[in-house]
């Protein structure tokens, strides 16, 4: 039997209330993936909590204590644990790519502070672990959540082996070209609003990410995917499903060209249960190369 292409990392606690839910945004999971999980190209993993010793390589002990006292961070340990485990299984060759669900977010968490619905910086923890345990050195991150990934930027600010591209509210590029912010347009007016916004946003991704990632030659590629940018969610800029699905296809293609397909998609912001159920399965289908019905 061939090894699976795609790993899905999900813990039952993610369907309960936490920092990234209004109600329970993932209440339909993993049931919404039943048809996908029938394929031998996909495997579902239930992650363990992230180890404390790894947390202390990225965060301070004071932050760990404060996170432990916040009831809305109750899913943080399994959230970060899933992102770390996904990276390990990609690096070991057990899977080619992964989709990591989370209950509490990561990209606003810095070394000593957390907030903005985020508790532990899951991607940073994954990178540190992959460097320590697998010898991977260079990583590229595309962040398309609605808000600036200030925690991730803080942690990797002086690290030339992390390319961080963030679509947010300003334009910026560091002198070495490894830290890039791209300002996103607001929703368009008029009858062609949805199509125009999707096209404009995808064009930004296509103009700013592929050439930088290809030139950078990462060992593994991350896509921090927030659907809070979707029409009607809390970071609404007017996007709809086809835009996210095109980005998924682009990121998979980039990973295949630059790092042997090693791609980890990490779920970021977004609160609407219906949107989660609508948007996420087609992304996983694209990662696994499944023919849609």
Domain count within the chain: 1
Predicted pLDDT at 190 = 43
Which residues, in sequence order, are CB contacts of 201 under 8 Å at separation 6+?
A: 167, 184, 185, 229, 237, 239, 243
Is 257 part of a structural domain of the chain? yes
Is 193 part of a structural domain of the chain? yes
Is 264 part of a structural domain of the chain? yes
Average pLDDT over residues 241-262: 98
Q: Where are the alpha helices (DSSP H) in the chain?
A: 34-37, 52-58, 61-69, 76-92, 122-134, 150-156, 193-208, 210-216, 241-258, 273-288
Average pLDDT of the chain to the nearest whole number = 93
CA distance 163 to 218: 8
Average pLDDT over residues 151-155: 97
pLDDT surpassing 80 at residue 23: no
pLDDT surpassing 60 at residue 30: yes
Sheet holding 42-45, edge to edge: 42-45, 6-9, 97-100, 263-267, 220-225, 139-143, 162-168, 179-183, 172-173
| Residues 46-64 pLDDT 10s | 999 999 999 999 999 999 9
Q: Hunting for tokens 């004071």 — which residue is that? A: 62
The domain that contains 108 carries what CATH number?
Answer: 3.40.800.20
Higher-confidence residue of 256 and 15: namely: 256
Q: Which domain holds residue 243?
A: 6-288
Predicted pLDDT at 187 = 58
Is 293 part of a structural domain of the chain? no
φ/ψ of 233, rounded to 5, equals -90, 180
Is 123 part of a structural domain of the chain? yes
Is 1 part of a structural domain of the chain? no
Predicted pLDDT at 164 = 98
pLDDT surpassing 50 at residue 189: no
Average pLDDT over residues 3-26: 79
Is 140 part of a structural domain of the chain? yes
């Amino acid at each position: 039997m061939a090894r699976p292409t795609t790993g899905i990392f999900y813990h039952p606690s993610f369907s309960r209330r936490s920092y990234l839910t209004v109600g329970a945004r993932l209440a339909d999971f993993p049931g919404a993936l039943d048809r996908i999980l029938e394929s031998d190209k996909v495997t579902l993993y239930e992650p363990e909590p992230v180890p404390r010793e790894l947390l202390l390589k990225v965060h301070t002990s004071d932050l760990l204590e404060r996170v432990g006292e916040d009831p809305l961070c109750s899913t943080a340990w399994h959230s970060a644990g899933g992102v770390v485990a996904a990276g390990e299984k990609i690096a070991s060759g057990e899977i080619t790519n992964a989709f990591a669900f989370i209950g509490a977010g990561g990209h606003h968490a810095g070394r000593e502070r957390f907030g903005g619905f985020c508790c532990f910086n899951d991607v940073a923890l994954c990178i540190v672990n992959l460097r320590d345990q697998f010898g991977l050195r260079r990583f590229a991150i595309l962040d398309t959540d609605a808000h600036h990934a200030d925690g991730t930027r803080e942690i990797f600010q002086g690290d030339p082996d992390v390319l961080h591209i963030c679509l947010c509210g300003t334009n910026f590029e560091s002198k070495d070209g490894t830290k890039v912010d791209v300002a996103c347009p607001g929703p368009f007016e008029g009858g062609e609003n949805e199509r125009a916004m999707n096209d404009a946003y995808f064009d930004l991704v296509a103009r700013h990410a592929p050439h930088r990632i290809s030139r950078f030659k990462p060992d593994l590629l991350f896509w921090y995917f927030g659907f809070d940018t979707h029409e009607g969610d809390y970071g609404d800029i007017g996007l709809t499903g086809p835009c996210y699905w095109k980005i998924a296809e682009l990121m998979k293609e980039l990973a295949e060209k630059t790092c042997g397909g090693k791609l980890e998609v990490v779920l970021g912001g977004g609160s609407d249960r219906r949107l989660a159920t609508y948007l996420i399965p087609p992304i996983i289908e694209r990662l696994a190369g499944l023919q849609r019905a």
